[in-house]
Amino acid sequence: MSETILSVTFEKKAMSHRDGQFSIPTRVCKLLGVDHGDEVHLIISHPNGGILFAGNRQTKSGYEIYGKDMATIIKAGDRIRVTVSNP
């Protein structure tokens, strides 16, 4: 029997050179069948709880997520917990 992975949760630091920017690990994208430029559903939270963002975003520059709205909720180098799935 074949299984389908519906979502993956990971923790990482946001990029240290710019607020609101992080990348989804390549191996996570491969597990979910996400390609460059695809739309994904994200739930971004602090590692100790508290949701910062929930919604759909398009990957940019490979598997990166960024934008002006992200810069207001995620600061450079912040540790974040991300659950990613197909929309």
Kindly report the pTM of this predicted structure.
0.92
Specify the DSSP class assigned to residue 32.
H
* Confidence band, pLDDT 50/70/90 cuts, at residue 1: low
- Compute the distance between CA of residue 41 and CA of residue 48 in angstroms, rounded to an integer: 21
- Of 1-5, 10-14, 34-38, 60-64, the one with minimum mean pLDDT is 1-5
60, β-bridge pairs: 64
